[in-house]
Amino acid sequence: MNTYLGASTLLGADDLDEKLIQSGQTLFLEGYLFDRDEAKAAFVRAAEIARAAGRKVSLTLSDTFCVDRHRDSFRHLVSGHVDILFCNESEILSLYESDDLGDAVAQARKACPLVAVTRSEHGSLIATKDETVEAKAFPVAKVVDTTGAGDQYAAGFLFGYTRNKSLAECGALASLAAAEVISHMGPRPETSLRELAQKHGLSV
């Protein structure tokens, strides 16, 4: 995937809508936008606005290439401004320059209150300071297109998290949303996720 983000790459602190950030329960930061110094400053400022309003801040690392380019800046952001970190196995290994997942997760949970690591067909690990929860992947008859899987995972997780679901429930909702989107072309669900969750006995 050769990503072109257009005008989004010009994100700066002046583009932030403070009232909008303050009104949401959880701010979601997209790592793909983290290239320019102006964008990095905007990320930090947005996180400060959210936290000052008593909101949570979540971040997805987006891509290993992003982490490789901006490792130190990402570490600073994660350790000082992020409450929920979303990443896949390769991204967290790159972030902490480790070849051992357990070691990388141990470093991450010291820096960030909640870390969710996706592992494709192996499900995901959700780690806090005090516990680690393993969420199983939902079976998919055929993987058609993985575009959007990480974003759907984060969406499902945050849906549960903002409704005070347990980490296990958040992980299940996240896995279900990701499974739906990889079963067809395109990054958006083609089935009602609410109905799908209810079908699988998940409370929504």
Q: What is the pLDDT of residues 44-53, one digit of tens each?
A: 999 999 999 9
Q: Positive or negative CA dihedral for 112, 128, 170, 121? A: positive
Q: Give yes or no for a contact between 145 and 184, defined as CB atoms under 8 angstroms apart.
A: yes
Q: Give yes or no for a contact between 133 and 171, defined as CB atoms under 8 angstroms apart.
A: yes
**Range of weakest confidence among 4-8, 11-15, 25-29, 187-191:** 4-8
- Torsion angle, alpha carbons of 40, 43, 49, 52, to 10: -90
The confidence band for 1, taking pLDDT boundaries of 50, 70 and 90, is very low
How far is Cα 83 from Cα 58, in angstroms, rounded to an integer? 6
Segment 16-26, tens digit of pLDDT: 999 999 999 99
Q: Give yes or no for a contact between 135 and 123, defined as CB atoms under 8 angstroms apart.
A: yes
Residue 145 appears among annotated catalytic residues: no
What 3-state DSSP class applies to 96?
coil
- Please, what's the largest Cα pairwise distance for the chain? 46
- Mean pLDDT along residues 123-146: 95
Q: Is the pLDDT reported for residue 104 higher than 60? A: yes
* Catalytic residue chosen out of the listed positions 100, 103, 130, 151: 151
Q: Give yes or no for a contact between 82 and 73, defined as CB atoms under 8 angstroms apart.
A: no
Helix (H) or strand (E) holding 169: helix 167-181
Segment 59-94, tens digit of pLDDT: 999 899 999 999 999 999 999 999 999 999 999 999
pLDDT at residue 5 in the model: 77
Query: And the tokens for 178?
Result: 């990701």
pLDDT at residue 2 in the model: 60
How far is Cα 6 from Cα 88, in angstroms, rounded to an integer? 25
Query: And the tokens for 4?
Result: 């072109």
